[in-house]
Structure 1
Amino acid sequence: MRDLAPEDPAAIGPYRLTGSLGEGGMGKVYLAQSRGRRRVAVKVVRPEIAADPGFRERFRREIEAARAVGGFWTAPIVDADPDAATPWVATDYIAAPNLAEHVNEYGPYGVDELVSLTVGLAEALETIHRAGLVHRDLKPSNILATDDGPRVIDFGISKAVQGLTTLTDTGLIIGSPGFMSPEQASGGRVGPSSDIFSLGTVLVFAATGKGPFDAESIPAMLYRVVHDTPSLNGVPEGLQEVLAACLEKSAERRPTPGKLLDRLNGASLPAPTRPMQRHEATTATSPAQTAAEPTPAVDARVSHPTWGYSDGGKILIGLGLLISIGTILYYLLSGDDGLWESLVVPGLVFFIPGSVLCLWATRHPREVVIEVTGQGLNYVHLHWNWRGLWGDVQSVTLAPFRHPGIDRVYWEVKATWGDNWNPVAQVPKPFRVKGHPRAARILLLFTGAATTRAELTRLDVALRHHAAGKYNPDPALIALLRSS
């Protein structure tokens, strides 16, 4: 990450820019913060590309399709503005080295790690293709190596499978020599099977530290991609057949992501056997962390705004209401005059200050927060704070929740305990579950389908990692994260 240059803007849309992450063929990428201090990577399209008559419509349609991409293995799009003077798209920020940096730092992947990488990337492509997109630039620098698996980035401005003209009208070529498919390198029709070929080249790189078509020059490399047999020297024997199928010259003969997953027959996803140290990264969504001891990527902190402290205002309004009722009853029973003049006192003393305090609370929102860490769960709601340790937790669920009469879907993170421990005395009242004395919960409310999927994916990954067998994801959650 580099400091902002004098010519860089201070903000893009609602996001305040904090650094420059890089520049590519489509435009420049910045690290930015939302008003709630959520970090995102914002890609700004080059003006000459945005000036193309058909670009904005293509860009708008691709963004809409890309918002539907969920799952565990991607960095989701959280915001975009195709109609801005300079169009931009914001993706979830993931602090991790890319695959190229990881291989250069720690060496090629072992067999178990390679299987994990293969199934993770296959599932990522499955969700991308299901949304009607083709990545068109799958390469090591567009894959982040996080502690809990790969994340595919930069798929939000790829060519949609149906209904769009090419994005190369301006002379822009999407793709990287050595990782392109033969049809892409020769200017042919590009579809989902092109990503499978690129997947094969990426996996060969992960297994050997070099691509299957490496050459001294770009023209020679492109010639090898189109005409030569890929070099699989150094690829583990058990995976050579799988990668050879991905690297078939004929697009029709390559497997689909689903076929790849079936072929690997549900291979397990072991934890990395080598440390994945955080270091300075150069990709758009993987800059260096600035903290001395960075938080592991599997930890999660998710929040949403709620009203501020309005209890004082409500108490004043309540007192004013009681005094007003008492005053009215007194004058009705006594027959004395001066009722309306007497009602001015509670109005001035209680109603007006109470209303001001309530209005202040709406203008100064606070956060409802759930944190999932290696130690346990941390719930925060206004001035209430509670932490439950994993050693005491019996089970955890993440499920949708509806308040009666409220047309909103909240998401409930609920923890329960065994009979040998009673949390009631330790759990603040807002976190207790009526009818379940050994349970605590917090409710989260998200805005927009893309944000909901991104935040729930973050929670789901962290709970799978830290809660292990204690975590029970709700079927509705699984369906949402896997939906197109």
Structure 2
Amino acid sequence: MAPQRSTGTGAEAELPEYAGQYCLESCLGSGGMGVVHLARSDSGLKLAVKVVHAEFARDREFRGRFRQEVAAARRVSGAFTAPVVDADPNAERPWMATLFIPGPTLSDHVKRNGPMPPAQLRRLMAGLAEALRDIHRVGVVHRDLKPSNVLLAEDGPKVIDFGISRPKDSELRTETGKLIGTPPFMAPEQFRRPREVGPAADIFALGSVLVHAATGRGPFDSDSPYVVAYQVVHDEPDLTGVPESLAPLLLRCLAKEPEDRPTPDELMRELRSVAASYDTQAFIPAQRTGDDTPPPRSAAAEPAPAPEAEPVPRSRSGKHVALAAGVLAVVLGGVLTGLLWPGDDGAPVARSTGVPAGTAAVASWQAKPMGKGSGMPQCAYGGGKLLCVRAGVAFALDPADGALLWRRPVAGERTSGAPVLADGLLLVPVDGGRRVAALDPAS
């Protein structure tokens, strides 16, 4: 079928109806270099067809770069990218057709749903590490890994858009004084030595992408690209809100020098150890009430996973604060032998429960927790106090006798997790973990 083009006089003059033999059905998105359309092959296969803007189609250097993009995309076509189906870099309007992958970009997902929980972050990081491993194995450096170039497919993330990627054997080189990339996700060497950019730059970008997925912003954040460029080269990344388990690994990815960053294989090995440690962490189970019994489970069923840890504040210096031990560690470790019983609002009542002979090293007590409703309070020990939250109320008890030291309502729909002691503050997750209330643990 011969190509058909519209004959208008607009900026694109304008969008063609066909790219090669493929009828362009609708626009999926537009970028600085081209427009991506939904199309179908003769057999009905859904395709994403990138058509170069008319102004760039007349630029010889750009055509050379587009040919390079097509070649790079063909070299890396596989499980972690969008496979190339067809292309014509020599057409009047150069185009490339790849398999259409349903799913939002990471950028759109974070805008719509907010930061990802830790389990999703680990899967995303592992998927991107696998993708970069395959991309680098064929000698390609992506150079523009960012949230809008990551598709979240059902079977894992896919890396797309190799528009500024560069094979190691490419004869094209970045011109002196010309920066190519997206500043918040560029590595320091892309600003300092753009002609020497290698695979480690993609690892730096992976770290920035994961911080964005975890917090909704990048590790170097400013409205000015010049300020961002300075921060990338000179400042330490801001990892505030990044989960404790992933922060050390992301700091390594964001190292200023390329040789200090891990390889994709090293990332995957370390992620496996992170996942293993997560599975063995203690957690406070939900309290069952009445005659509830756990649902039946087959012998082959997997054990229920532990809840994810809440994000922990971090400073731009890269130093991080330690989490206080959970109440299970406090109780099981013998520091406290008191029991908190569900009850109505009111001051806790401390009373002796009796201690078996030979175990009277610590006095035991009982107390009614604050807050309405049922369920066990979730607590942390610190500063000589047992600091608890339950049903929208935070309160502190004296671990010696269970006496109430203070109580305070916590703003928000509901508390949603154990409190955390960090930097001298009691941090209480509220509204499903979307916000954090900060209290003075002394009062």
Structure 1 position 9 matched with structure 2 position 16:
yes
Give distance in 2, aligned partners of 1:240 and 1:100. 20
Conservation of the 8 A alpha-carbon contact between 1:62 and 1:133: no
Once the 2 structures are TM-superposed, how far is the Cα of residue 22 of structure 1 from its aligned partner?
2.5
Structure 1 position 182 matched with structure 2 position 188:
yes
Change (3 A) 1:266 1:194: same
Structure 1 position 227 matched with structure 2 position 224:
no
Conservation of the 8 A alpha-carbon contact between 1:30 and 1:41: yes
* Equivalent residue, structure 2, for 1:419: none
Conservation of the 8 A alpha-carbon contact between 1:96 and 1:144: yes
* Equivalent residue, structure 2, for 1:122: 129
* Equivalent residue, structure 2, for 1:350: none
* Equivalent residue, structure 2, for 1:252: 259
Deviations 1:387-408 (A, max 9, x none): xxxxxxxxxxxxxxxxxxxxxx
| Equivalences for residues 173-322 of structure 1 within 5 A | 174-186=180-192, 188=194, 189-265=196-272
SS at match of 2:219: coil
Q: Which amino acid aligns with 2:187?
A: S
TM-score, normalization: structure 2? 0.55
Conservation of the 8 A alpha-carbon contact between 2:77 and 2:84: no
Which of 141, 148, 155 lines up with 1:141 in the alignment? 148
Higher helix share: 1
Deviations 1:333-366 (A, max 9, x none): xxxxxxxxxxxxxxxxxxxxxxxxxxxxxxxxxx
TM-score, normalization: structure 1? 0.51
Q: Which amino acid aligns with 2:102?
A: A
Give distance in 2, aligned partners of 1:71 and 1:203. 22
Change (3 A) 1:52 1:9: closer
SS at match of 2:135: helix
Q: List gaps (5 residues or longer) in structure 1.
A: 274-484
| Equivalences for residues 372-411 of structure 1 within 5 A | none
Structure 1 position 153 matched with structure 2 position 163:
no
Once the 2 structures are TM-superposed, how far is the Cα of residue 268 of structure 1 from its aligned partner?
6.4
Give distance in 2, aligned partners of 1:16 and 1:173. 35
Q: Which amino acid aligns with 2:263?
A: T
Q: Which amino acid aligns with 2:45?
A: R
Conservation of the 8 A alpha-carbon contact between 1:179 and 1:201: yes
Give distance in 1, aligned partners of 2:183 and 2:42. 39
Task: Flag the structure with more relative contact order, 1 or 2, with Cα contacts below 8 A and sequence separation at least 6.
Answer: 1
Q: Which amino acid aligns with 1:175?
A: G
* Equivalent residue, structure 2, for 1:27: 34
Which of 112, 120, 128 lines up with 1:113 in the alignment? 120
| Equivalences for residues 94-109 of structure 1 within 5 A | 94-109=101-116
Identity across matched positions, percent: 52
Give distance in 2, aligned partners of 1:172 and 1:9. 31
Once the 2 structures are TM-superposed, how far is the Cα of residue 187 of structure 1 from its aligned partner?
5.2
Once the 2 structures are TM-superposed, how far is the Cα of residue 50 of structure 1 from its aligned partner?
4.0
* Equivalent residue, structure 2, for 1:75: 82
- Superposed CA RMSD in Å reads 2.7
Q: Larger deviation: 235-244 or 214-223?
A: 214-223
Give distance in 2, aligned partners of 1:27 and 1:36. 26
Once the 2 structures are TM-superposed, how far is the Cα of residue 239 of structure 1 from its aligned partner?
1.0
Give distance in 1, aligned partners of 2:48 and 2:68. 20
Once the 2 structures are TM-superposed, how far is the Cα of residue 98 of structure 1 from its aligned partner?
1.1
Change (3 A) 1:126 1:198: same
Q: How many residues align?
A: 267
SS at match of 1:64: helix
Conservation of the 8 A alpha-carbon contact between 1:213 and 1:230: yes
* Equivalent residue, structure 2, for 1:277: none
Deviations 1:92-118 (A, max 9, x none): 111211112211222211121111001
Give distance in 2, aligned partners of 1:187 and 1:48. 29
Conservation of the 8 A alpha-carbon contact between 1:15 and 1:32: yes
Q: Which amino acid aligns with 1:26?
A: M
* Equivalent residue, structure 2, for 1:300: none
SS at match of 1:72: coil
Give distance in 1, aligned partners of 2:148 and 2:100. 15
Once the 2 structures are TM-superposed, how far is the Cα of residue 39 of structure 1 from its aligned partner?
1.6
Give distance in 2, aligned partners of 1:71 and 1:201. 24
Q: Larger deviation: 195-204 or 248-257?
A: 248-257
Give distance in 2, aligned partners of 1:90 and 1:60. 13
* Equivalent residue, structure 1, for 2:67: 60
Conservation of the 8 A alpha-carbon contact between 2:69 and 2:162: no
Q: Which amino acid aligns with 2:19?
A: I
SS at match of 1:237: coil
SS at match of 1:178: helix
Once the 2 structures are TM-superposed, how far is the Cα of residue 139 of structure 1 from its aligned partner?
0.7
Conservation of the 8 A alpha-carbon contact between 1:62 and 1:160: no
Conservation of the 8 A alpha-carbon contact between 1:180 and 1:198: yes
Once the 2 structures are TM-superposed, how far is the Cα of residue 81 of structure 1 from its aligned partner?
1.1
Q: List gaps (5 residues or longer) in structure 2.
A: 1-5, 9-13, 280-304, 306-443
Deviations 1:227-279 (A, max 9, x none): 11000111111111110010011112111111111222377699xx9xxxxxx
Conservation of the 8 A alpha-carbon contact between 1:215 and 1:221: yes
Change (3 A) 1:174 1:32: farther
SS at match of 2:180: coil
Q: Which amino acid aligns with 2:32?
A: G
Once the 2 structures are TM-superposed, how far is the Cα of residue 57 of structure 1 from its aligned partner?
4.8
Give distance in 1, aligned partners of 2:246 and 2:178. 35
Once the 2 structures are TM-superposed, how far is the Cα of residue 23 of structure 1 from its aligned partner?
2.4
Change (3 A) 1:156 1:75: farther
Change (3 A) 1:168 1:35: farther
Conservation of the 8 A alpha-carbon contact between 1:77 and 1:92: yes
Change (3 A) 1:24 1:62: closer
Change (3 A) 1:228 1:267: closer
Give distance in 2, aligned partners of 1:199 and 1:38. 31
